A and B are shown apart, each in its own frame.
Chain A
């Protein structure tokens, strides 16, 4: 394995009862500095793959490595360097925003000064600092998404995995998130995220993979994949072909 490979999915297969495969022999690798887009139709297997990457979902065959550690055998080592933001963040509604962030910071063992600095920095960037003293149950979907993003950034992960991260975010917060993704990658981390917004993927990602019925049907750098076409055109083309 290359030393700068942050995420390496090797032959990942997830089968359900009756032999139906939600993910079939999926293989891809994300290097440090990559912003890797994962696209596909609804039900194609994006979330199933993402949930397996972050150690939430058990899987049938293959293995997934994060920073050289196997998700199957060294789950804790993987989780220590990963941050996950689900598409619909289910946070503890009866905690305040700050209580929730402190809980996450405590779990990752973040020093007080660092956590304060990060909460202040990202709270201000997402313009939610003033609301952090309120109960999460009083937040809008977008605000919950912002708290989930801040909680993901609080421990400076090497790999950030996001499932449809831009849903529910206001334009400014979307811009801020994209900015943060770039900053993270410049510092040697990697981002792996699913999206339906192909324009965003095209502008943001340097690599992309297209999944259909659980199988990767196209993957590579943005230039290799698109050539002089748009990502949307390529996506529709390969979806129709295979």
Chain B
């Protein structure tokens, strides 16, 4: 049975392998795009490696090198949990080739387990690119023994599995709960959003619990918090224990390693025993659609072509939990942030986020539009909507409209989505921070221009790295080259800009900083839109 599973796993990996496309495709452009994709991903991995190594160096400089193993385990675990949770629907459940696979002689448990293993192998390079530089940093700066390296590498493969199992099980339970409802997709999306929000707030909840110990020194606080977090999440503690003991060439490494490996294997079997039992039933329920069959043709509303496209995009966004959670999460977070600052006040929110750092009142004001943009611009629907046309691309291609109209419609939809939330977020934060009216107007202008930039630049990435032959929408919504190329640089640059703007606001007039930023953002938005127009002509 296991060999059959390996066959399936191999086929799944090959079916999404860029190398297979490069090797067998006769389309030169496609092969070129694959090479570009390899290069893009190599750059991103490099960024993660550098970030991770310097993070480790930072801890060494703070004399806290001993927390690196637990920090590595916690970071990888948190990422593995969130990434898996968002992908469960589409990878584990309700996937496109479900009929084909289930008609073959596989047990439902094996199909589910193979899908999980596939998901694990596809994301493993990310976890390793985070974890291994930390290992090198820990070994070098901590002057550990040689045994630490093989132990870290071996256990590094196990660290993401338990959080992935937990996320899969949670995603499975959400799907199970929602499958009984008529509007199962909506319920599933709502529950997923609730859990993502909870996962995002978990850090603050844990910190609040840990702070009971009231450690004063910042360095000691970081160390103590990591150690306590390792105790709250036992597998991270086991990993750290195994790595630290092996670094000192002690036999104690064995118990931590055995606990981590043993628990992982037992949990894997338990989870897939349960999932396998209900797998077919659940997929059947998720794939069934209630039909009323009572429609009567009444007067129909006529829309402009742009609005028709925007409406189609809205239906596409809301039809998929994966797409909605990725595409609209920034808007939801902005709404939550806006309400939070109105209720508890800007100062309190800033204090929570910055862990009570001594930040002078009002200093963050010029960065309000950027803070909102950090959330809204994290993802834009235009980055994946060209690829999401997938096999339905023929519909828009055969309609009497130009590509320009199609992409303008997609841009319009993104603006319909992002602009109201941006305005809401900026207004709420500005009210709470007592921003002057002129500044508020400038912030709103900047926010809207940033929305236009985000939608246009996202569309540039989306068109340039358009991929219609995907097997699973997760491949273009979460893992596509377009998404990666848009998301990470945008995120890091916005974070850098927030710091820069706050600093500039202390040396020159903050209104002038906003004006300068508005000018730069307008130029970037115009350039991105012009690039979209050039791309649609090609």
Contact = CB atoms under 8 A, between A and B. Distances in A.
A138 B21 CA distance: 11
Contacts of A204: none
A201 B525 CA distance: 60
Nearest to B20: A94
B493 interface: no
Interface residues of B, number: 43
A93 B471 contact: yes
Contacts of A56: 98-99, 102-103, 280, 284
Interface string A80-100: 101010100111111110011
A135 B25 CA distance: 6
B307 interface: no
A86 B99 contact: yes
Nearest to A141: B391
A79 B15 CA distance: 23
Contacts of A90: 96-97, 99-100
A135 to B, nearest CB: 5
B281 A103 contact: no
B103 A82 contact: yes
A95 B280 contact: no
A138 B181 CA distance: 39
Most buried by A among B4, B97, B288, B291: B288
Interface in B147-203: 180-182
Interface in B362-381: none
Interface in A127-142: 133-135, 137-138
Most buried by A among B7, B27, B182, B281: B7
Given A58-B280, A106-B7, A107-B7, A96 B24 contact: yes
A20 interface: yes
Interface string A99-134: 110011011100000000000000000000000011
A58 B102 contact: no
Interface in A118-169: 133-135, 137-138
A138 B26 contact: yes
A171 to B, nearest CB: 24
B364 to A, nearest CB: 47
Given A93-B15, A95-B15, A138-B26, A108 B105 contact: yes
A115 to B, nearest CB: 13
B399 to A, nearest CB: 20
Contacts of A80: 105
Interface in B71-118: 96-100, 102-108
Given A106-B7, A135-B25, A94 B105 contact: no
A108 B103 CA distance: 12
Nearest to B1: A76
Contact of A107 (B105, B182, B280): B105
Nearest to A18: B290
Interface in B1-55: 4, 7-8, 10-12, 14-17, 20-21, 24-27
B469 interface: yes
Given A55-B103, A76-B105, A86-B100, A94 B15 contact: yes
Contacts of A96: 20, 24
Given A58-B281, A93-B15, A107-B104, A133 B24 contact: yes
Contacts of B4: 106-107
A75 B102 CA distance: 10
Nearest to A54: B103
Given A43-B291, A104-B104, A92 B471 contact: yes
Contacts of B283: 58
B97 A103 contact: no
A18 B284 CA distance: 15
A79 B182 contact: no
Contacts of B98: 56
Nearest to B470: A93
A95 B10 CA distance: 11
B288 A16 contact: yes
A137 B469 contact: yes
B471 A103 contact: no
A57 interface: yes
A196 interface: no
A47 to B, nearest CB: 10
A17 interface: yes
Contacts of B21: 94, 135
A51 interface: yes
A95 B100 contact: no
A92 B16 CA distance: 8
A88 to B, nearest CB: 9
Nearest to A80: B105
Contacts of B96: 90
B281 A94 contact: no
Contact of B182 (A18, A43, A133): A18
Interface string A27-55: 00000000000000001000000010011
Contacts of B26: 134, 138
Nearest to A91: B100
Contacts of B16: 94
A95 B21 CA distance: 8
Nearest to A87: B99
A89 B103 CA distance: 12
A79 B100 contact: no
Contacts of A75: 107-108
A136 to B, nearest CB: 9
B471 A76 contact: no
Contacts of B469: 93-94, 137
Interface in A65-82: 75-76, 79-80, 82
A134 B15 contact: no
A179 to B, nearest CB: 24
A157 to B, nearest CB: 11
B389 to A, nearest CB: 15
Given A94-B20, A133-B24, A17 B290 contact: yes
Contacts of B105: 76, 79-80, 107-108
A94 B107 contact: no
Interface of B: 4, 7-8, 10-12, 14-17, 20-21, 24-27, 96-100, 102-108, 180-182, 280-281, 283-285, 287-288, 290-291, 469-471
Given A54-B103, A55-B280, 5 more contacts: A18-B182, A55-B103, A56-B98, A75-B108, A103-B7
14 contacts: A16-B290, A54-B99, A75-B108, A79-B103, A79-B106, A90-B99, A91-B100, A93-B469, A94-B14, A107-B4, A107-B104, A133-B24, A137-B25, A138-B27
Interface of A: 16-18, 20, 22, 43, 51, 54-59, 75-76, 79-80, 82, 84, 86, 89-96, 99-100, 103-104, 106-108, 133-135, 137-138
Q: Which 3 pairs from chain A and chain B are nearest by CB?
A: A92-B15, A58-B284, A84-B103
